[in-house]
Structure 1
Amino acid sequence: MQLVDVDAVRSARERLAGVVDRTPVERSRAIGQLAGGQVWLKCENLQRAGSFKLRGAYNRIAQLPSDERDRGVVCASAGNHAQGVALAAGLQGVAATVFMPIDAPLPKLEATRGYGAEVQLVGRSFDDAMDAAQAHARDEQRTFVHPFDHHDIIAGQGTAGLEIVEQVPDAATVVVCLGGGGLLSGIAVVLRALRPDVRIIGVQAAGCASFAASLDAGVPVRLPVSTTIADGIAVKRPGELTLAHVGSLVDDIVTVTDEELSRAVVILLERAKLVVEPAGAAAVAALIAGRIEGDFPVVATVSGGNIDPLFLQHLVTGGLSAIGRYASLRTRVPDRPGGLSALLALVAEQRANVIGVNHHRLDPRLQLGYVEVVLELETRGHPHVAELASALEVAGYPVG
């Protein structure tokens, strides 16, 4: 199978001139300290439409013949590719119909419509939307813009790799978020041509790690289920073209858990001042979790920032819990005046901040004369949580 070459990526950059932003590469000392060396972040979350997807979508649509442009384009996406295609098509005066799962994040849905695309909600998964989009494209004789498995898409995404080479010329390892493989394939094409000594690593969500099985089998393998919060990289089956690129050009694939993704989202928000969706934080999550074997300096892609604020709030809570900044402790107190205040006084002595208190009397498992109390607390790390739990136990408040 013929792979994309670096000249195709250079041509794509010419087409994208004045359309996409040259996104910044920012050094993060905080993440570097956690990872053990110098770390640079390639901030594609700051790209137009909030992710790298505009690069490939615009490059693909720009090369369509006039009759195909007149009929319009079709795509399927959980969100970021949808926005990339909608914006790319609108900038070029091409009609776009986008198929999205019915549970697609609301901000991504509204943004896609805001860029002028017609949106059709179909099925519960990306695969359902993909099947519907491809059927619609066939029936209406319109061009299907694949989210990752096309030479023009890969070449467009690879323009981010050209920028990385120029912005961090001494990079030793490049870590890339991995869903369908378009971004990783494009960046790998550039690095193998211009910096063959660089170690290239892709990062998938553990709950949808389709590349490992596919690389072992030598052909794309479809996972039966996907269970991850990272909807942007929840691709159950790689493409044939992206699998060929990854198998030929990439050094390693690692995975991260949803808890590790949540932690990375919180750290990026708090320490790097970047709003990032879970899929866009996968490379950073792998660095923080110690999954990356490679020399420093490391460049980690931050591939998207399109996240529902309500979901971000949920993630922040989960991420704070993962790093010991938030704790929920269940105990019981005597059912008499002053019982709860004595417990809260002890919590205050341990310098924990009470966010919420739930008080239950009706659990039949409770010993007569006691009530159950669930404390939601702001804490100062895992050692502090352990100290607090120990102090409660010593004072006669069992923690469960």
Structure 2
Amino acid sequence: MIDLKNIYEAKEAIKGIVLDTPFSYAPQMSEYSGLEVYLKKENLQITGAFKIRGAYNKIASLDKSQMECGVIAASAGNHAQGVALSASKFGIRAVIVMPESTPLTKVNGVKHLGGEVILHGSNYDEAYAYAMGFAKENSLTFIHPFEDEKVIAGQGTVALEILDKCEKLDAIVVPVGGGGLISGIASAVKQINKDIKVIGVGASGAPALKNSFDTGIPQDSLSVRTIADGIAVRDTSKITLDHMLGSVDEFISVDDEEIASAILFLLEKQKLVVEGAGSVGVAAAIHGKLKHLKGKNVAIVLSGGNLDVTLLNVIIEKGLLKSHRKMNVTVTLVDKPGSLKRFTEILEELSANIVHISYDRTSISLDYGDANVTVHMETKGEEHQNEIRERLEKEGYLRR
């Protein structure tokens, strides 16, 4: 464990720079999940994520010569912004190596904070390898996102803030990528109250640390694939794994479907924009993976809110389709005046709100004189959609 004294020192070091983010009860989520849920909203942090805590604590500890040379980091985005902002507070150079697939919003965020961005590699680990070589060549101090005691101590300040506000806590649920956040939180929690359970949640598409935790042996993945880019770590850190094996009670996984539904749940029910990595704890709660904590007081860390708006649009559209609030129908009409008018009149009678129509008369699968019409419409639920299908079948537009 990280010594509790070091975590309290980190709390002093980041004071005035890092926000003590809101921590509040979530009644709708509590009712939905059967837990007594409290949300720690690190998505509202100054950089949109918890990472600035560890980054600032580490940079504040550098000596004069290290400050003069500057720092470098490898990150998918949140650690990058934390390092860039922290470096700017000390007036020093910050170089950030980011995977080429990093969302533009995160790249621009780093640049806005004064960081020099280098895009390299298809994932974090490839960016990391490049950054290590660049650091050596340019005498820069590498600021690791999780394999550093100063960084881990900084992340542990999240737990201190939670425990200051909620004395009767049974468990803390923490997103896990490289393991720095949960290592810091678990170190603090277990030294303050060992009866509080610390539960990690990772993405099933990035299983290395979960597999390592389950077996007690470091294991790496050949590749990662998840919408939770902030926790898409391919290789296991032995340092954070050792911390976790000593202080974390449980580690569970959620898939991309569950993560996407959690993002949408938070947006609709909590009015919060939370990225995939920050939503995994909520995904576990609303999909019944924390049933053994029913009725218990559970804090869930929303670790970041830097969500790519393009991905958000996809999640919203898919979510509306899955919840029967949107419906797409394709029918074949005779390509003559009045055919489309009659079809849309039926939809009007059924109170379906058309939002988009596409008209195709050139597909090679069509007979001459026919056209495929695809209609995207807003509906009022599954029963309404069944009513629409039955009417269109009756009128001969759809086949059973």
TM range (shorter): over 0.9
Contact 1:102 1:121 in 2 (8 A): yes
Deviates more, 1:310-319 or 1:65-74: 310-319
Local SS of the residue matching 2:357: strand
Contact 1:331 1:399 in 2 (8 A): no
After superposition, residues 295-334 of structure 1 pair within 5 angstroms as: 295=294, 296-334=296-334
Per the TM alignment, residue 365 of structure 1 is displaced from its structure 2 partner at its CA by 3.5
Per the TM alignment, residue 380 of structure 1 is displaced from its structure 2 partner at its CA by 3.1
What is aligned with 1:211? 209
After superposition, residues 366-381 of structure 1 pair within 5 angstroms as: 366=366, 370-381=370-381
Specify whether residues 56 and 385 from structure 1 end up closer, same or farther in structure 2 by C-alpha distance, changes over 3 A only.
farther
Is residue 398 from structure 1 mapped to residue 398 from structure 2 by the alignment?
yes
Specify whether residues 46 and 394 from structure 1 end up closer, same or farther in structure 2 by C-alpha distance, changes over 3 A only.
same
**2:169 aligned residue (163, 168, 171):** 171
Contact 1:25 1:167 in 2 (8 A): yes
Q: Distance in 2 between matches of 1:302 and 1:383?
A: 35
Contact 2:202 2:210 in 1 (8 A): no
What is aligned with 1:70? 68
Per the TM alignment, residue 234 of structure 1 is displaced from its structure 2 partner at its CA by 0.7
CA RMSD of aligned residues (A): 2.1
Q: Distance in 1 between matches of 2:279 and 2:290?
A: 14
What's the CA shift string for 1:345-365, capped at 9, x where partnerless?
333333332211122233343
Local SS of the residue matching 1:50: coil
What's the CA shift string for 1:146-200, capped at 9, x where partnerless?
1112111111001001111122222222211111111111111122222322232
Specify whether residues 197 and 85 from structure 1 end up closer, same or farther in structure 2 by C-alpha distance, changes over 3 A only.
same
Specify whether residues 379 and 187 from structure 1 end up closer, same or farther in structure 2 by C-alpha distance, changes over 3 A only.
farther
Output the amino acid matched with 2:305. Answer: G
Is residue 157 from structure 1 mapped to residue 155 from structure 2 by the alignment?
yes
Contact 2:48 2:305 in 1 (8 A): yes
Local SS of the residue matching 1:49: coil
What's the CA shift string for 1:240-292, capped at 9, x where partnerless?
11111222222222222222222222222222111221221111122122222
Q: Distance in 2 between matches of 1:148 and 1:397?
A: 58
Q: Distance in 1 between matches of 2:396 and 2:6?
A: 70
Q: Distance in 1 between matches of 2:349 and 2:35?
A: 38
Contact 2:87 2:94 in 1 (8 A): yes
Q: Distance in 1 between matches of 2:171 and 2:100?
A: 38
What is aligned with 1:353? 353
Is residue 340 from structure 1 mapped to residue 321 from structure 2 by the alignment?
no
Local SS of the residue matching 1:99: strand
What is aligned with 1:53? 51
What is aligned with 1:140? 138
Q: Distance in 2 between matches of 1:80 and 1:361?
A: 48
Contact 2:213 2:251 in 1 (8 A): no
Contact 1:102 1:122 in 2 (8 A): yes
Q: Percent identity?
A: 39
Q: Distance in 1 between matches of 2:141 and 2:217?
A: 25
What is aligned with 1:363? 363
Local SS of the residue matching 2:47: helix
Q: Distance in 1 between matches of 2:169 and 2:345?
A: 52
Specify whether residues 381 and 222 from structure 1 end up closer, same or farther in structure 2 by C-alpha distance, changes over 3 A only.
farther
Local SS of the residue matching 2:373: strand
Output the amino acid matched with 2:351. Answer: R
TM-score by structure 1 length?
0.92
Q: Distance in 2 between matches of 1:8 and 1:386?
A: 60
Q: Which runs of 5+ in 1 are unaligned?
A: none
Output the amino acid matched with 2:55. Answer: A
Deviates more, 1:368-377 or 1:193-202: 368-377
Output the amino acid matched with 2:162. Answer: I
Q: Distance in 2 between matches of 1:55 and 1:66?
A: 21
After superposition, residues 72-87 of structure 1 pair within 5 angstroms as: 72-87=70-85
What's the CA shift string for 1:97-128, capped at 9, x where partnerless?
11012221112111111211211111222122
**1:231 aligned residue (214, 222, 229):** 229
Q: Which runs of 5+ in 2 are unaligned?
A: none
Specify whether residues 37 and 212 from structure 1 end up closer, same or farther in structure 2 by C-alpha distance, changes over 3 A only.
closer
Per the TM alignment, residue 316 of structure 1 is displaced from its structure 2 partner at its CA by 1.9
Per the TM alignment, residue 65 of structure 1 is displaced from its structure 2 partner at its CA by 2.2
Contact 1:259 1:319 in 2 (8 A): no
Specify whether residues 352 and 283 from structure 1 end up closer, same or farther in structure 2 by C-alpha distance, changes over 3 A only.
farther
Local SS of the residue matching 2:272: coil
Contact 1:359 1:374 in 2 (8 A): yes
What is aligned with 2:279? 281
